């Protein structure tokens, strides 16, 4: 999606260690009207799939999921991180590792809201090695629901997670795929 | 807002310890079309204030803030919880205590995105004793920005936080104010 690539070039900051900061519009400050455009593009990519629900993980996936949900008229379900006193005991859970925060965490989803009747689209802001997605996929498999598609705003292809998921057969759509960002020079996959 | 009160009566669950679970539509699963109606009501309450930004805290405040932001065409800024490797060192921060999770935490906002030029509306899903709000107010004061209004979906009036903020002079608008919920009987303030 050229619009997102241009926004990354204009507003993103490439830092040492292949860190791409897009916190001016995506995952700290949120440009809601821009999110709407990403949501519309996801709705085009995932139209006609008869999904019942959108699954994401807090926090940065929520705004993007809501933008898509508005177009598809679906509920959003977000996995909670950590031990949460308010989610109850009847949960699916998965362990994940965050390279951003350099720590392991547990994500949980109440069994009440995900079942084998569901056909879901998984949404997240970033895909690098795929750790967060692995957690969401594990939870979906525990629930026995069908994963119709996975939508990502920014995929760092050089981390390998995205292509591994494609090889596993997942219908993965990333709106911007960063092939490399050596020396701060961001190159997108064509 | 009668619509929200009715939704709480229909879909909310009153648990022991004055816990009101609304995770079927507000803070785990999100009814995005319903959020849109809450956002529209906030936009009516806060119209004409010339706000520059909406401030909230992850994670449950994000969807509600985005719903309002769409109407007011403003960016959303969400405070991050915990020590986050990706937010940088140049931050405002405040300590808060979560009664839900029975633990202290730090919330942080990058100084890049909040300044004395900003006039903000603070949004959150719940207001009980007001701990999360105190953190957001502290951060706003550190930035020197003006707080034009505070919008809450559900206020538990019997916890006292809301009325204390009103006495301090804040322009606090809660869409549903639960006066009491003894024995699971939810009574709204008229």
Average pLDDT over residues B175-180: 98
Per-residue tokens: B27: 């803070």
Inspect the interface and report whether the beta carbons of B59 and A63 lie closer than 8 Å: no
Quote the ipTM score.
Answer: 0.96
Which residues on B lie below 8 Å from A123 (Cβ)?
none
The percentage of chain A sitting over the pLDDT mark of 90, rounded to a whole number, equals: 89
Which residues on A lie below 8 Å from B66 (Cβ)?
30, 32, 35, 62-63, 66-67
Residue B87 has pLDDT above 80, yes or no: no
Count of Cβ atoms closer than 10 Å to residue A48 Cβ: 5
Residue A171 has pLDDT above 90, yes or no: yes
Q: How far is it, in rounded angstroms, from Cα A55 to Cα A113?
A: 10
pLDDT for residue A58: 96
pLDDT for residue B101: 77
Peptide bond into B59 cis (omega under 30): yes
Angle (CA) B14 B15 B20, round 5°: 50
Q: How far is it, in rounded angstroms, from Cα A142 to Cα A92?
A: 7
Mean pLDDT score of chain B:
95
pLDDT for residue B84: 62
The percentage of chain B sitting over the pLDDT mark of 70, rounded to a whole number, equals: 97
DSSP H or E segment with residue A23: none
Residue A85 has pLDDT above 60, yes or no: no
Per-residue tokens: B103: 């633990």
Mean pLDDT score of chain A:
95
Which residues on B lie below 8 Å from A58 (Cβ)?
58-59
Which residues on B lie below 8 Å from A59 (Cβ)?
58-59, 62, 78, 80
Instruction: Give the residue from B16, B52, B66 with the most A CB atoms within 10 Å of its CB, the best one to mutate.
Output: B66
- Nearest neighbour of A29 by CB, restricted to B29, B82, B113: B113
pLDDT for residue A86: 64
pLDDT for residue A103: 85
Closest residue by Cα to residue B173 from B75, B79, B41? B41
Inspect the interface and report whether the beta carbons of A75 and B31 lie closer than 8 Å: yes
Q: How far is it, in rounded angstroms, from Cα B33 to Cα B38?
A: 9
**Residue B130 Rama label (left phi>0; alpha psi -120 to 50; beta):** left
Which residues on A lie below 8 Å from B77 (Cβ)?
28-30
pLDDT for residue A77: 98
Q: How far is it, in rounded angstroms, from Cα B149 to Cα A160?
A: 45
Q: Interface of chain B against chain A, CB under 8 Å?
A: 19, 21, 23-25, 28-33, 35-36, 58-59, 62-63, 65-67, 69-70, 73-78, 80, 82-87, 100-102, 109-110, 112-113
Residue A167 has pLDDT above 60, yes or no: yes
In the block, residue with structure tokens 């692995």: A134
Strand partners for A123 = A151
Inspect the interface and report whether the beta carbons of B59 and A62 lie closer than 8 Å: yes
């Amino acid at each position: 999606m050229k619009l997102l690539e241009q926004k990354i070039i204009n507003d993103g900051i490439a830092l040492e260690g292949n860190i791409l900061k897009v916190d001016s519009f995506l995952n700290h400050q949120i440009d809601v009207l821009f999110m709407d455009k990403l949501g519309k593009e996801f709705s085009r990519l995932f139209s006609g799939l008869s999904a019942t629900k959108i699954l994401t993980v807090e926090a940065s996936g929520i705004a993007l999921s809501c933008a898509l949900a508005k177009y598809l008229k679906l509920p959003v379900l977000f996995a909670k991180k950590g031990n949460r006193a308010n989610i109850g005991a009847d949960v699916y859970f998965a362990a994940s590792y965050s390279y951003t925060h350099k720590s392991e965490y547990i994500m949980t989803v109440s069994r009440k809201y995900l079942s084998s009747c569901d056909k879901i689209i998984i949404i997240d802001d970033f895909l690098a090695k795929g750790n967060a997605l692995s957690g969401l996929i594990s939870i979906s498999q525990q629930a026995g629901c069908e994963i119709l598609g996975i939508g990502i705003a920014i995929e760092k292809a050089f981390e390998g997670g995205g292509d591994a998921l494609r090889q596993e057969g997942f219908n993965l759509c990333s709106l911007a795929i960063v092939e490399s960002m050596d020396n701060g020079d961001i190159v997108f996959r064509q």
